[in-house]
Amino acid sequence: MNDTESMETTTQLKKLTLKGLSELKRVWGENSQRVFSFRNLKEVIVSDCKILQTLFPSSLAKTLEKLEKLKIESLSISNCPNLQYLFSSSAAKNLMNLEEIRVEKCGSMKEIVAKWGHEDEHEGKGEDKYENEMRFAKLEILTLCSLPKFESFYTGSSTLNFPSLKKVEFTKCYNMTIFHHGDKVPAELMVTIDGVHWEGGINSVIIQQLEEVAA
C-alpha cells in the first residue's frame, strides 16, 4: 500500500472514554491514511483533556461518508478548556443517530457544529428536500453547562432540523442565541435555564433571560 492509499479497519468498539489525556490535541489525525469504521460505536465520553481541539474535524468527513450512518447515540464532554467545537458541518451530517449531547466546563467552546471553508456553500441545489438541512433526527436532549464563550449551535448557512428534541438545559451560558431564524425546532420544549423552567420559544426564552441578567 502506498502513501496515497488507505486501509479500512472495522472495529467492534461500542464505548469510547478519553479521560485525563493532557497531551491529546485531536482524537483522529487530520491527515490519517487509515480509514476507521466505527460502525458499532454508540457512546463517546471525553473529560479533562486540556488541549483537545476538536472531536470530529472536517478532514474526517470522507471517512464518515463510508459509514452510512454512525450509531453514536450519546456524546458527553467535560472540562476540555481548549475545545472550540465538537464537529465540522460535513462530519455532523453523518451523526444521524445522536440522541443526547452534553457539554460542560469547556471555556473556549463557541459552537457545537463549526463551518469550515466552503463546506456548505453549494447546498440546496438538488431535489432532496433535506439537502439544505442539517438534520439531527433522533436528538432528544441537549445540555450545556458553564460555557462562557458559547454563542450558537451552528453559524453556517444550512437549516437545522430537530424533529425529536424534547429537553434543553442551559447553565451559566450567558452569551448565546442557540438557534437561528428558519431552524426547525419543536415549539413545545422542556426548557431549563439555570435551574428555572421556562415556557415559550427557546430563543425568546434565552433572550428574556439575558435581558434580566443584564438589568
Three-state secondary structure readout of 180-213: CCCCECCCCCEEEECCEEECCCHHHHHHHHHHHH
Q: How confident is the model at residue 4 (pLDDT cuts 50, 70, 90)?
A: very low
Q: Which of 104, 147, 181 is nearest to 204 (CA)?
A: 181
Q: How confident is the model at residue 66 (pLDDT cuts 50, 70, 90)?
A: low
Q: What is the pLDDT of residue 200?
A: 61
Only one residue has cell 422542556, namely 190
Q: How many CA atoms lie within 13 A of 9 on its CB side?
A: 9
Q: What is the pLDDT of residue 78?
A: 95
Is residue 2 over pLDDT 70? no
Domain ranges in the chain are 7-214
pLDDT digits (tens, 9 = 90+) for 107-145: 999 999 987 654 454 444 444 545 678 889 999 999 999
Q: What is the pLDDT of residue 162?
A: 92
The rounded mean pLDDT for the chain is: 77
Q: Are 113 and 136 in contact (CB under 8 A)?
A: no
Only one residue has cell 487530520, namely 30
| Dist CA 195 CA 89 (whole Å) | 31
Q: What is the pLDDT of residue 3?
A: 39
pLDDT digits (tens, 9 = 90+) for 137-193: 999 999 999 999 998 899 888 889 999 999 999 999 888 878 877 888 887 788 888
Is residue 215 over pLDDT 60? no
Q: How confident is the model at residue 30 (pLDDT cuts 50, 70, 90)?
A: low
| Dist CA 102 CA 9 (whole Å) | 29
**Helix or strand or coil: residue 214?**
helix
Q: What is the pLDDT of residue 116?
A: 64
Which range of 4-8, 55-59, 133-137, 177-181 scores highest in mean pLDDT? It is: 133-137
What is the average pLDDT across 56-73? 63
Q: What is the pLDDT of residue 121?
A: 47
pTM for this model (two decimals) = 0.80
